[in-house]
Amino acid sequence: MNADPEVVLEARGLTRRFGTRVAVDHVDLAVRRGEVFGCLGPNGSGKSTLMRMLLGLLEPSGGDASVLGYEIPTDAEKLRPHVGYMTQRFSLYEELTVRENLEFAAEVFGIPRSGLRDLIEATIVDYGLVDHADTRAEALSGGYKQRLSLAATTVHAPKLLVLDEPTAGVDPQSRREFWEQLFELAAAGTTLFVSTHYMDEAVRCHRLAILRDGRRVAQGRPRDLLHALAGRVIDVETERPEEAIAALRQTPLVASTTQIGDSVHVLLEADAPDAAIASEELVRDLVRAGFRGASARPGGAQLEDVFVALLHDESAGGDS
Amino acid sequence: MGRFLASLRRTLAMARKELRQLQRDRLTLGMIVGIPTLQLVLFGYAINLDVRHVPTAVIDRANSSLSRKLIGEFEETQTFAIEQFITSEAAAIRLLEGGRIGAVIVIPSDFDRRLYRGRGALISIMADASDPTVASAVTLAGQGFARALALRMQPATAGRAALRPAPDDHARFGATSDLVRPEPVQVEVLPFYNPERRTPVFIVPGLVGVILTMTMMLMTALAVVRERERGTFEFLIATPVRRSEVMVGKILPYLVVGHIQVGLVLGLGVLLFDVPIRGSLLDLGVGALPFLASMLAMGLVISAASRNQFQAMQMSFFFFLPSMLLSGFMFPFEAMPVAARWIGELLPLTHFLRIVRGVVLKGATIDVLWTDVVAIAVFFTVALIVATATFRKRLA
């Protein structure tokens, strides 16, 4: 079915309705072997539902998918041994210790008995769980629970790893370490499909799909998505930034504003002139409004701008 | 005042929320109506301590027109329902041990002769006294029967030790004029298995079954639904584990628990109530294993069908109630109307009670109880299939 043999996960018009609400709306995706593919979107944008459908845990209302060559949802059970799924909420057994949870995972995934013991001890070391191997999961901190979850979902060396907001509620240091581990897995040939609502994590992905209200509103390399916004971003320096924002919003050129400390990050309308020209216009407007020390220059787009632009341009009826 | 009003508002808001939740929970709504209705109907019909239609076998060694008339009279009392004719005491014991029969009427071969010669004919009733209620009913009926017979035979001299047959009773019993001074027909009740008719002796083995029904079913009833509530379900269904494996895997550990409970209740019964254990524990184990499994499977059916632990508990209760009322635990099986007995036959507890009472109180071996073992095994198989089919490796 796949023209490109490197595509290991493909969604074709996947749709899921809950009653009248459409949680996932005709989503197409193609994830290639060995890449870290991000799925970015706010809460309720349909990320979890999409993942559950791709794993065959939830019947689609429409569309289908093929994952690692298996047709979903029909062949979902055949797919199981080859994927690891880390749920958003901790889904291992609280009453069991770290080692017991890993043993359970290894056993249900059919790891041969002979190598099981060694594999588990190695996993405990790899994921830095040595000091907590005999601690019950319920007594672990968020960061350790997350490590245990990842360890349990990778113990059978899956070809595809699906991670649903794995770093939600975890401190920055743990997040960094976690992502290092993800890239190690990718380097070893595992394909990763990971959802997040952290922009800094999304930027690190090889490729990215952005979901909003159940629809895939963008897909591509983060760099390309940012590049599309070149010339639409301006950084404004001014006194009284809160008041300046009010003035800037009156200008037809401005799509959105974000205060960052003493400066204002401005996203221009899609049909606005290039940032270099627009900067001068904005300064002129500000000075006229009484902000005499205002200055502006074209800035670098951030993933958040991509997000805001998608949201804004659509509601404005524009198309960029 | 303001504080009080604010509190009242919060309280009412809370109540409204609860009410809304309840409105949207159809199962709970059903239970609100269902449980009292069921209770009323079951209690109303099943609590009938006036034991009637005790399944009865007859050993008619006289086999005369007189003995057949006597059997007819026994049946007219409505306490006895003559179901079969057998020829030996050994067969009688088998039937009593299997719990199929509550009483055996034995008419001796010299019945006619003794009646005519005025020696007094002795009729024995072997009664299953493991259930004291049945035993007393049979005794009462037997004594009443003999008295009524005597009165009819010589109404004028009632109260005297030796009774003469009245003319009409001569005709009734085919007595001829040479029948002079006949002794009345005597009815002797032989209580089997629990001669002192002590209730604990009867109740304790039954309690084994009742307690196991409740505990086993609840353990598994909460098993699947707990996974769902705690989120572990999503991890579990994303693994290659099969549905039947989940089911059986959840049953196995509780089989051990169940056997421990059997031992515990029986042990306490022996210690505290002097319950005699007449049969072999091995036979009991053979009967207990399928019963435990069937209750655990029933729990899984409930668990796979319910959405939260509360629902699971309620549905367990919904099954538990008829088990207790219609199995013969609370009320003698014989005393229940036919429809209730049919439902009772569908419940594993009914069959397990026959097994546990048979083995413990009557020293029965499993070969006279095998139909009950089979019935339980069938229930288990059906329940396991239904549970597996109901359990889906899907969310929502």
Single residue among A181, A196, A222 that ends a domain in this structure = A222
Please judge whether A81 and B395 are an interchain contact, meaning their C-beta atoms are less than 8 angstroms apart. Answer: no
pLDDT value for A124: 96
Q: Kindly report which listed range (A246-250, B29-33, B289-293) carries the lowest average pLDDT score.
A: B29-33
Assign 3-state DSSP to chain B and report helix, strand, coil percentages, each to 5.
Answer: 65, 10, 25
Report pLDDT for B149.
75
Mean per-residue pLDDT for A188-197?
94
Is there a contact between A25 and A77 (Cβ–Cβ < 8 Å)? no
Beta carbons of B234 and A91 less than 8 Å apart: yes
B65 touches chain A (CB under 8 A): no
The answer to whether residue B6 scores a pLDDT higher than 70 is no
Does one domain contain both A191 and A247? no
DSSP B389: H
User: For residue A293, what are the domain limits?
Assistant: 228-315
- Is the same domain home to A134 and A24? yes
Phi, psi of B200, deg, nearest 5: -55, -40
Boundary-marking domain end, from A190, A222, A254: A222
In a shared domain, residues A111 and A147: yes
Domain assignment present for A95: yes
Chain A residues touching B391 at Cβ < 8 A: none
Same-domain status, A64 and A85: yes
Q: What is the pLDDT of residue B159?
A: 38
Residue A192, pLDDT above cutoff 60: yes
* Domain match, A17 and A162 both: yes
Q: H helices of chain B, where?
A: 2-23, 26-46, 65-76, 89-97, 111-117, 132-153, 167-172, 199-230, 232-237, 243-273, 281-305, 309-326, 338-346, 348-362, 370-390
Tell me, yes or no, whether A273 and A164 share the same domain.
Answer: no
Write the pLDDT tens digit of every residue in B152-211. Answer: 665 443 333 333 444 444 434 433 333 444 446 778 888 787 776 666 677 778 888 888
Q: Which residues of B touch A108 (CB under 8 A)?
A: 236, 239-241
Decide if A276 is inside a domain. yes
**pLDDT of B138 higher than 80:** yes
Which residue among B232, B237, B393 sits closest to A92, beta carbon to beta carbon?
A: B232
pLDDT score of B139: 83
- pLDDT value at residue B34: 67
* pLDDT (0 to 100) of residue B262: 85
Residue B172: the pLDDT is: 41
Q: Is B238 on the interface with A (CB under 8 A)?
A: yes
Could you identify the residue written with the tokens 């409970």? B261
Distance CA B160, CA B329 (A): 43
* Cα gap B209→B265, rounded to integer Å: 10
Q: What is the overall mean pLDDT for chain B?
A: 80
Rg (CA), chain B: 28
Tens of pLDDT, residues A113-133 = 888 899 999 999 999 999 999
CB A170 within 8 A of CB A181: no
pLDDT mean over B341-348: 93
Predicted pLDDT of residue A62 = 95
Q: Which region among A24-33, A198-207, B249-258 has the lowest average model confidence (pLDDT)?
A: B249-258
Q: What pLDDT is recorded for position B187?
A: 80
User: Is the model more confident about B391 or about B385?
Assistant: B385
Same domain, A63 and A145: yes
The helix/strand/coil state of A244 is: helix
The more confident residue out of B161 and A282 is A282
What is the distance between the alpha carbons of residues B288 and B291, in angstroms, rounded to a whole number? 5
Number of A/B CB contacts below 8 angstroms equals 49
Could you report the predicted ipTM of this complex, rounded to two decimals? 0.86
* Rg of chain A in Å (alpha carbons): 23
Last residue of a domain, one of A194, A222, A250: A222
Distance of CA B377 to the CA centre of its chain: 18
Q: State how far the alpha carbon of A61 is from the alpha carbons of A27, A193, B7, B55, B391, in Å.
A: 12, 22, 45, 59, 20
Number of domains in chain A: 2
- What value does the mean pLDDT take over residues A198-226? 92
Do the bridges between strand A254-260 and strand A263-268 make them parallel or antiparallel, or are there none, so unpaired?
A: antiparallel
Q: Are residue A205 and residue A79 in the same domain, yes or no?
A: yes
Q: What are A130's two structure tokens?
A: 């040595």
Are A161 and A276 contained in the same domain?
A: no
The total number of residues shown for chain B amounts to: 396
Residue B176 pLDDT: 39
Q: Say how many C-beta atoms besides its own lie within 10 A of residue B240's C-beta.
A: 17
Q: Mind listing the pLDDT tens digit for each residue in A88-97?
A: 999 999 888 9
A290 domain-assigned: yes
Q: How far apart are CA B334 and CA B267, in angstroms?
A: 28
pLDDT of residue B272: 75
The answer to whether residue A320 sits within a structural domain is no
Q: Does B3 touch chain A (CB under 8 A)?
A: no
Note whether A60 and A15 are same-domain residues. yes
**Residues B90-126: b if buried by 16+ CB within 10 A, e if exposed:** eebbbbbbbbbbbbbbbbbeebbebbbbeeebbbbbb
Looking at beta carbons, which residues of chain B come within 8 Å of A81? 240
Residue carrying structure tokens 């002097």: B274
User: Which of A48, A49, A52, A94 has the highest number of chain B CBs within 10 A, making it the mutation to test binding with B?
Assistant: A52
**Topology of B54-192 in CATH?**
abc type-2 transporter like fold (3.40.1710)
DSSP A154-200: HTT--SEEEEESTTTT--HHHHHHHHHHHHHHHHTT-EEEEEES-HH
Mean pLDDT of the residues in chain A:
90
Q: In what order do the strands lie in the sheet with A295-298?
A: A254-260, A263-268, A233-237, A295-298
Pick from A210, A205, A200, A203: nearest CA to A182: A205
Residues of B in contact with A92 (CB under 8 A): 232, 235
Is the pLDDT score of B227 beyond 60? Answer: yes
Asked if residues B251 and B296 have their Cβ atoms less than 8 Å apart, the reply is yes
Residue A86, token pair as written in the block: 């880390």
Per this entry, what is the length of chain A? 320
Task: Parse chain B into domains and list their residue ranges.
Answer: 54-192, 198-390
- Which CATH number is A195's domain given? 3.40.50.300
Which residue in the block uniquely carries the two structure tokens 């027109």? B65
**What pLDDT, on the 0 to 100 scale, is given for residue B9?**
61
Strands A62-67, A36-40: pairing is unpaired
pTM: 0.76
**B327 pLDDT higher than 70:** yes
Residue with tokens 């895939």, as numbered in its chain: A216
Residue to test with chain A: of B230, B239, B391, B393, most A Cβ within 10 A: B239
What are the distances in angstroms from CA A128 to CA A137, A282, B92?
Answer: 15, 53, 73
Q: What are phi and psi of A71, to 5 degrees?
A: -80, 130
Q: Do the Cβ atoms of A57 and B239 come within 8 Å?
A: no
Assign residue A254 the CATH number of its domain. 3.30.70.100
If asked whether residues A301 and A242 sit together in one domain, one would say yes
Do A173 and A275 belong to one domain? Answer: no
pLDDT of residue A46: 93
pLDDT digits (tens, 9 = 90+) for B75-91: 888 888 889 999 998 99
